[in-house]
Every structure is written in C-alpha cells, then in structure tokens.
Amino acid sequence: MTTTPRVDHALVDRLDDAVTGVHDVVNAEATDVDAAYAVQEALVARRLDRGARQVGWKLGFTSLAKMAQMGVSDVIVGRLTSDMHVPDGGAVHLPRLIHPRVEPEVAYRLARDVSPDDDLLAAVDAVAPALEIIDSRYRDFCFTLADVVADNTSAAGFAIGPWTALRDAGELGGLPVALSVDGEVAETGTTDAILGHPLEALPALAGMARRRGFRLRAGQVILAGAATAAVPLTAGTSVVGRVDGLGSVRIEVSGEAR
Ligand code: OOG
Ligand code: MG
C-alpha cells in the first residue's frame, strides 16, 4: 500500500465545481499518479457527502481502442457512485453533463467482500453487458494519466443490462460487442479487446486494489473497461450496448445539449 500523499484540495474544489456547475476546466497537466488517486478519493467523498453511496469500481484504458483514442496507455481505476446509476432503458439528461460520451463495457458483480489476498474471480457471481457514460471535466477531454485519475477517470454514469450467473455464462472471451445509436451500429469490437480476455480485468483490479488499499465489497459492480472507442451522446437518441451471448442494455438521451 502506498503512503497517503497530501491532497491537493484546490484541484478537488475545481473538479467538484466542474461537476456540480456543469462546466469544463483546463487540465492540470499533473504527473503524480499517487497524488491523483488521493484527489480522486477526496473528490468522490464530496459525492458521498451529498448522499451518494459507492456502488462499484471501473477500470479504464484496458483496451487498445481506448488507449489510442485518448493517447493514454496505463490501466486506471475509478469509483462508481449511486448517483451515476441509470436504469436499463432509463434516461440520461444531457443538460447535467458537460460533453458526455458513451462506451460499451462488460460488468461483473461481487457476491461477497474481497480481502487483499482473496481470488477476485471467485468472489464474482454474475456478468452483464453495460454502458458507461464518461464526461471528462477537462476541456476537450485533454488530460494526462494523472489528470484523468484525479477526475475519477471521467466517470459520470453507467447502465447495466441483464445479469447472467457466471457459472451459466460460458466462454466470455471473443464475444462480439456493438454500440448502436438509433439502431445504427457506431462502434464494434470484441470482449478480447479488454486486456486480451475480459476476465483479465479482475486480476488487474485486484492488483491495484491491493497496492492502493481499495476495499472491494459485496454487491459492488466492476466495469471492465470499454471494448471500443467512445462516441458522443446526442440529444434525442437511443443508445444500445450489446455483447453477444450476454444481451443488451439501453439508455435514452433526453434534453438538449448545452
Ligand atoms: C477515461 C475513462 C476510460 C475506459 O473504459 O477505458 C474508460 C476517458 O476516456 O475519458 O472509462
Ligand atoms: Mg469506461
């Protein structure tokens, strides 16, 4: 576990104001990833102070498509909170977001608390198709690795499709993934885009959790990282993420863009 660096409270304030005031900020060009995780924790604590609960974790940059799109190449972890959850088929209200994008993901569910030495895979009981809404608080989605970690890895929303028990799910590798907007396919990939096999997200998260002292809890959701590049959310559209063999999940984009 790393020692806790001093928290850059000015950056926490700037990022939290960007979320609540729905405006972007110029990136910090930060380089200290440990300090950035401390900012992330303090930033998410603001959401918890406002009544949200932490409901999961998300991995970022687990696919080449995302690394290439964002120019960043290290796996990162962010926190999912209850105020980010969108029910399957539910609405995402554009005026609450800065410049949101959506990406198709695979989600896992934890059946029990995980201690640092536990096998994370053994604690997962179900898998589902998911959509993640990312909304970098930085202007033009321009950031360093430490910047995006501080900004809770751009996390802004997520929707989860039907859960399948892991024991009934069959092979999770090589499943075709598609992101469609109003019935038109916008992006395609396969689950192997995620670290070569989507289950590889679990040891990747377990390693980071061990190093950084994250506590993984029963009932929490894990987003394994996008299998394709992200696409902008457009007012009035219906977005579907599909993972062959696992089914699909949908969001409706409501309101006008700002
Ligand atoms: C950072 C979040 C990356 C993923 O699935 O790779 C991510 C971003 O692209 O703004 O969520
Ligand atoms: Mg993602």
Give tens-digit pLDDT for 183-213: 999 999 999 999 999 999 999 999 999 999 9
Q: How far is CA 153 from the centre of its chain?
A: 7
Of the candidates 192, 97, 212, the one whose C-alpha atom is nearest the C-alpha of residue 149 is 212
Map tokens 């995620």 to a residue: 194
Does residue 177 surpass a pLDDT of 60?
A: yes
- Residue whose Cα lies nearest atom 3 of ligand 1: it is 60
For residue 106, being part of any structural domain is answered with yes
Q: Which ligand is nearest to the CA of 138?
A: 1
Helices assigned H by DSSP within the chain: 9-21, 33-49, 64-70, 120-123, 145-150, 201-212
CATH number at residue 72: 3.90.850.10
Q: How close is the Cα of 32 to the center of ligand 1, in Å?
A: 19
- Name the residue range of residue 75's domain: 9-254
Task: Give the ligand 1 atom nearest the CA of 66.
Answer: 6
Q: Return the amino acid letter for 253.
A: V
For residue 3, being part of any structural domain is answered with no
For the CA atoms of the chain, what is the radius of gyration? Answer: 17
For residue 179, being part of any structural domain is answered with yes
**70: helix, coil or strand?**
helix
78-90: b or e for each residue (b if 16 or more CB lie within 10 Å)? bbbbeebbbebee
Of the candidates 241, 112, 136, 127, the one whose C-alpha atom is nearest the C-alpha of residue 187 is 241
Q: How close is the Cα of 140 to the center of ligand 1, in Å?
A: 14
Please tell me the distance from the alpha carbon of residue 134 to that of residue 221, in angstroms, as a whole number: 16
For residue 4, being part of any structural domain is answered with no
What's the total number of domains in the chain? 1
Local structure of residue 4 (DSSP, 8 states): P
C-beta of residue 54 within 8 angstroms of C-beta of residue 64: no
Q: Which ligand is nearest to the CA of 132?
A: 2
Q: How close is the Cα of 203 to the center of ligand 1, in Å?
A: 18
Q: Which of 134, 140, 147 to mutate to test the pocket of ligand 1 (most atoms within 8 A of CB)?
A: 134
List, as one string, the DSSP characters of 120-169: HHHHEEEEEEEEEEE--SBGGG---HHHHHHTGGGEEEEEE---EEGGGS
Strand bridging mode 164-165 / 101-110: unpaired
Please tell me the distance from the alpha carbon of residue 134 to that of residue 130, in angstroms, as a whole number: 13
- Residue whose Cα lies nearest atom 10 of ligand 1: it is 154
Give tens-digit pLDDT for 213-248: 999 999 999 999 999 999 999 999 999 999 999 999
Please tell me the distance from the alpha carbon of residue 43 to that of residue 20, in angstroms, as a whole number: 12
| Mean pLDDT value of segment 109-134 | 96
Q: How confident is the model at residue 258 (pLDDT cuts 50, 70, 90)?
A: low
C-beta of residue 197 within 8 angstroms of C-beta of residue 173: yes
- Residue whose Cα lies nearest atom 7 of ligand 1: it is 60
47-56, 66-75, 174-183: least confident range: 66-75
Percent of the chain with pLDDT over 70: 98
Q: How close is the Cα of 172 to the center of ligand 1, in Å?
A: 21
For residue 110, being part of any structural domain is answered with yes
